[in-house]
Amino acid sequence: MAELVADRELSCQALDRDGYGRIIARCFANDQDIGAALVDAGLAWAFRRYSDDYAPQEAAAKAAGIGIWEADNQAPVDCRDDRWNRAAAAFPRAGCPIKGNIASNGERIYHTPWSPAYSRTKITEGKGERWFCDEAEAVSAGWRAARWR
């Protein structure tokens, strides 16, 4: 990445916003698409949730066996989905594995299945703690994400 952007003019073009209001953008070093270059070099996955634009670069890198394609791997989004699905199947509110607990100071904090504190976080519904089906639901109910991110 450092070599790709060194001594170049950087710019980003906002394309959309995700469900949490974060900007989805395409960024350039001079006129070179940074995302395309990273995927082409086998240093990143094409994030197809928002676009198939980098799928050809990913296919070429995978066929060449370069970068992340030197060995079998799982894209981070798929790894998170797998963790999500395992957690969702195991908890009381079917399909809703996000734990909303109340800290000793009264702060309302939610933990996703990939949170480092997830396994040790216990929910006591009688104390007002609860389960959420997605992060947007937790945020709209006034809970904040755990600060490990």
**What digits encode the pLDDT tens for the residues 109-143?**
999 888 888 888 999 999 999 999 889 999 999 99
Q: What is the pTM of this model?
A: 0.58
Give the residue range(s) of CATH 2.40.50.90 domains in the chain: 2-70
What pLDDT sits at residue 79? 77
Summarize the confidence of residues 28-46 as an average pLDDT.
Answer: 95
Fold of 2-70: OB fold (Dihydrolipoamide Acetyltransferase, E2P) (2.40.50)
Ranking 27-36, 57-66, 88-97 by mean pLDDT, the lowest is: 88-97
CB of 54 closer than 8 Å to CB of 35: yes
What DSSP assignment string belongs to 20-52?
Answer: TSPEEEEEEETTEEHHHHHHHTTSS---TTT--
Per-residue burial over 35-55, b = 16 or more CB atoms within 10 Å of its CB, e = otherwise = bbbbbbebebbbbeeeeebbe
CB atoms within 10 A of CB 100: 22
